[in-house]
Amino acid sequence: MMGKQVLFLINGPNLNLLGTREPNTYGSDTLDDVVQLVKNTAEGFKIVHHQSNHEGDLVDYIQSAGKEADGVILNPAAYTHTSVAIRDAISAISVPVIEVHISNVHRRESFRHHSYISPVSSGQIVGFGVDGYRLATLGLIEKIRKGEEK
């Protein structure tokens, strides 16, 4: 396997509240549980985790991933539906980005049905709860092993 063997795990606004925020929608696992799940899944890869409630921070993390990582697992949360800046940051990097959502956004409010992120991502995983992060990790590693860029 070539590359840095580093994955960035980037989580957007309110995901720091996992475990207590709307447990009927997001479950009872915490963000620490998510990070540990990704670390346990990503054999041989270092996981660098970032979470922010601020759009500019997320843009900075994505740009850093373009230089420092082999790929990105990104849950942009509410910014999925509003952020051209995050979309542009993803477009500016060459490493694959997998978009993850804990809930099935397509079964929720209509404003959540549109993603600015999906058209520039390598893939999207929705509706599997926090296990979506495990699936994203496996898919991302497979893309990296095959030498696929986004």
Q: What is the pLDDT of residue 109?
A: 66
Set 61, 101, 116, 133: catalytic member? 101
**Residue written as tokens 């230089």?**
67
Q: What is the pLDDT of residue 21?
A: 73
Domain at 6-145: CATH architecture: 3-Layer(aba) Sandwich (3.40)
Burial of 76 (0-12, 13-18, 19+ CB in 10 A): buried
Q: Which two tokens stand for residue 49?
A: 């985790």
Q: What pLDDT was estimated at residue 110?
A: 73
- Give bridge partners of residue 126 from the DSSP assignment: 101
26, 61, 79, 133: the active-site residue: 26
Dist. CA 100–CA 30, nearest whole Å: 16
Extents of the domains making up the chain: 6-145
101 is catalytic: yes
pLDDT score, position 148: 77
For the chain, list residues with pLDDT below 70.
1-2, 22-23, 25-27, 106-109, 111-113, 150
pTM for the structure as a whole = 0.90
Give yes or no: 116 in active site: no
Which string of DSSP letters, residue by residue, matches 106-131? Answer: GGS-GGGS--SSGGGSSEEEESSTTH
